[in-house]
Structure 1
Amino acid sequence: MLHDPKGGSFWFDAGALCLDFAHTGGEGPYAVFETLHDPADLGVWLAQPPLTAVLTEAVTARELTAAKALRQAIWDAAHARAAGRSLPAAAIETVNRAAAAAPLVPELAVDGASAAWASPVRTAQALSTLARETIELLSGTFAERIRECASDDCPLVFVDTSRPGARRWCSMERCGNRHKLRALRARRATDR
């Protein structure tokens, strides 16, 4: 669920956890969407499904800075891939640096039917897991399916996992319906 600073919210499935992370805020004009204001906010975000990484150590200010750098690198790389441009060298370096740390380690529960992350669960491990997913996404079979929303005023990126590969909108509830409404109004205006 994404929240608009002007009010309202809408369902948005980016198709990859790393892209969901990239949409938690940003720099410049995207600062109004910031959700990671302090280290505790990052801890809360990481603990939410689907990652569900409940940290065993509190997030530090330095780790929040590293997380925001990774988030920006994912954002820049995904937009470059969506536009068919070369990935920025700085983004590649940041993603690779985060991925070099040990990732979260899955652990089967005693009941054999559920899993969790093996303790300790640290911020650097969660960021490494996000960076590794980014690497898989940017270099894998869905790399050519990373898209930017077709709306003129929406910068969201997503993985088009639809069978025909024809998804155009971040969300039909938001940008898709806005486009349909504009097209309908334009048709009615020309019919008059």
Structure 2
Amino acid sequence: MRHERVCLELVGTVRGRLGEPSDDLADPVSLAGWLARRGLRPTEEPDAAHVTGFRALREASYRLLVAVTGGGAPRPDDVALVNRRAAHPAPAVSLVDTPGGGLRREVAVPTPEQALAVVARDLVDLVGGPDLVRLHQCEADVCGTFFVDTSRAGSRRWCSSATCGNRARVAAHRGRAAQP
């Protein structure tokens, strides 16, 4: 599932978190693929330590998001981990000439640590920014992922209407049909 925030995409790499979870970041190859699909293909192939680093940030992010959306206080060690990762230098950006005479923004290829910093900074921007009021956890029984509700009414219930929403509607229909 694609989110508009890379930090939420990282949290979403545990599918079915509240049921029978599966981890999309099982090894360095799956991490490399995940990074590439987000435009963060690193300068070097990720190794097991990078997988551990991304998983640690993912779990700290999840707990932090549960706390801030539930009105609780985040764990200090989770905040410290996010801040530590966000403090790493980001990939360099520059303006380059285009064939038509204009300029475009170009981002340098990141190291795995810089890619981790990009994700952590996105979380800092989300939690410390105006989108926090529209941040919700999916209401599907087993999902557990988060999304920013960009609907006009602000009443979205699921991370994806096509997957989690459809499952919930089908289950509700079956429940009604089973009643005498």
Report the TM range for the smaller structure's normalisation: 0.7 to 0.9
Q: 1:41 to 1:176 in 2, by over 3 A?
A: closer
Matches within 5 A, 1:133-172: 133-172=122-161
Spell out, residue by residue over 1:41-94, the C-alpha distance to the aligned partner (whole angstroms, 9 max, x if none).
Answer: 222211213xx1222222232222111111111111112222222112121011
Q: Report the RMSD for the aligned CA atoms in angstroms.
A: 2.5
For this pair of structures, how many residues does the alignment match?
A: 176
Deviation at 1:104, TM superposition (A): 1.9
Instruction: Indicate if the aligned counterparts of 1:46 and 1:54 stay in contact, CA closer than 8 A.
Output: yes
Alignment partners' CA distance in 2, 1:59 and 1:168: 35
Deviation at 1:122, TM superposition (A): 0.4
Alignment partners' CA distance in 2, 1:101 and 1:182: 45
Among the aligned pairs, what percent are the same residue?
A: 34
Q: 1:175 to 1:39 in 2, by over 3 A?
A: closer
The match for 2:40 among 42, 53, 58 is 53
Deviation at 1:16, TM superposition (A): 1.4
Structure 1 position 179 matched with structure 2 position 168: yes
Alignment partners' CA distance in 1, 2:146 and 2:178: 32
Q: 1:150 to 1:117 in 2, by over 3 A?
A: same
The match for 2:27 among 38, 46, 61 is 38
Q: Secondary structure at the match of 1:42?
A: helix
Q: 1:94 to 1:30 in 2, by over 3 A?
A: farther
Instruction: Indicate if the aligned counterparts of 1:81 and 1:144 stay in contact, CA closer than 8 A.
Output: no
The match for 1:118 among 108, 115, 128 is 108
Deviation at 1:97, TM superposition (A): 0.6
Alignment partners' CA distance in 2, 1:98 and 1:55: 16
Aligned position for 2:69:
82
Q: 1:44 to 1:30 in 2, by over 3 A?
A: farther
Q: 1:151 to 1:41 in 2, by over 3 A?
A: closer
The runs of 5 or more residues in structure 2 that have no matched partner are none
Deviation at 1:38, TM superposition (A): 2.1
Q: 1:60 to 1:177 in 2, by over 3 A?
A: closer
Deviation at 1:100, TM superposition (A): 0.8
Q: 1:152 to 1:117 in 2, by over 3 A?
A: same
The runs of 5 or more residues in structure 1 that have no matched partner are 1-11
Deviation at 1:34, TM superposition (A): 1.4
Alignment partners' CA distance in 2, 1:31 and 1:189: 25
TM-score (norm 2): 0.84
TM-score (norm 1): 0.79
Q: Secondary structure at the match of 1:116?
A: strand
Alignment partners' CA distance in 2, 1:117 and 1:67: 21
Alignment partners' CA distance in 2, 1:15 and 1:143: 14
